[in-house]
Amino acid sequence: MDYEDTAVKLLVTGGAGFIGSHLVRACLNRPDVWVVNLDKLTYAGNLDSIRDLRGHPRHEFIQADIADAAALREVFSRHQPDAVLHLAAESHVDRSIDAPDEFIRTNIAGTYNLLEASHRLWQERKKAGGNFRYLQVSTDEVYGSLGFGDSAFAETTAYDPHSPYAASKAAADHLARAWYHTYGLPVLVTHSPNNYGPNQFPEKLIPLVIIKALQGEEIPVYGRGENIRDWLHVTDHVSAVLAVLERGRVGETYHVGGGQELSNLDLVRRLCVVLGELRPRADGQSYAGQIRLVTDRPGHDLRYAINAAKIRSELGWQPQETLATGLRQTVQWYLDNEAWWRPILSGKYQLQRLGVTSAAIP
C-alpha cells in the first residue's frame, strides 16, 4: 500500500480519542490519503482534539457507534475504505471495574460488527481484484502480569487477562484472528504498552498527576507504587501503526514497545521534577510533597514489558522519543493547553478515583 502514489481511503475508529486523533493527523500528513474518522464521542472522545482538522478536504468525521451494526453497514457502503484501523474502545481499567458491561458491548460486540462489515467489503474487493487491510490495535494488558525478573512479553506469549478491560480486548483480538484464519480477512494486530502525550483524557496516570499537582491536590499512587509499566509516546505508537499497515505481513502480530520501564512511583516523581522546573510551586516546595500512597486497585498487575524486536527487525521501526524528552514535552503541553483540559473537569468527571469496587478473593 503506497501512500505516495495511490489515493487511499482509511477508516479510523476512535479517531477523536487520544491515540486516534494523533493517528488521523499523521495519516492526513501523507499525500493522497483520505480519512473517514468514526467516533461515538463518549466521555473520552473530544472534538477539540481534532479541531484543527475541521474543513480539511480529505477528512470526514462521522459520529457513530461501532456497536451499531446498521450504522457501520451504511458507513462501509458509502465510503468503501481500503483499510480499517480499529482503535475505538473503552480503555480505562478502573472504569472496567465499575462498569464492565460497556467494555463488553464496545470492545467485543463492536469489534465483531466491524469485522463483519470488513469481511463483506473484503469479499467484494477480492472479486474486483482489489486490496484491503484490517488492523486491530491492542494492548499489552491482555498478557497479564510479569514478575520483576521475567522476560518481556513476546508476540507468542499466552493471553492471561486480569481485568474486565484486558479480557474484553483479548476477546476482540481473538475474534480478529479468527476472521483471518476462518474467512481470510487480511488482519494485522499490534500491541502497545502505556501511551502518553498531548490530548490524553485526564483519568490516565500522567495527565492526572500533572493536573492534580497544578491544582495543589494530593497525587494518588496505588499501593506502594512499585507496579512497573513500559511507556511509549503516542507519536511513536502512531508511526509504528502506519508501518505495520503499510509493510506488515498479513496475519502477523507486532509488538510496539518504548523500552522504557519505570515504576509508577518513580514516574510520578519524575513528573514532579519536570513540573517544578517548568512551573515551580508558589511556595518553592517540591510537587513530590503532594504524593500519597493509596489503597491498591483490585487485580493490579505488577509489571508489563514489551519485546519489540520483531517490528524493529522486520519493519525498521524505532521509537524516536525518549522518556525524558517525552515527559517534558507532555507536561509543557498541559501547561499550555488548560483551555483543552479545564472544560473536561467541569463535567461529571473531576479527577475522582474510579474502580474502587472490591470483592473477597479466597
Which residues are part of the catalytic machinery?
140-141, 165
Q: What whole-number distance in Å separates Cα of residue 107 and Cα of residue 168? A: 6
Nearest to 172 by CA among 132, 123, 139, 145: 139
Q: What whole-number distance in Å separates Cα of residue 110 and Cα of residue 100? A: 14
The side-by-side arrangement of strands in the sheet containing 228-233 is 194-196, 228-233, 261-263
3-state secondary structure of 265: helix
Contacts of 69 (CB under 8 A, 6+ apart): 113, 116, 117
Q: Check the CA dihedral 256-258-259-261 and report its sign.
A: negative
Strand partners, 230: 261
Cα end-to-end span (Å), the chain: 52
CB 327 within 8 A of CB 271: yes
Strand 83-86 versus strand 8-13 pairing type: parallel
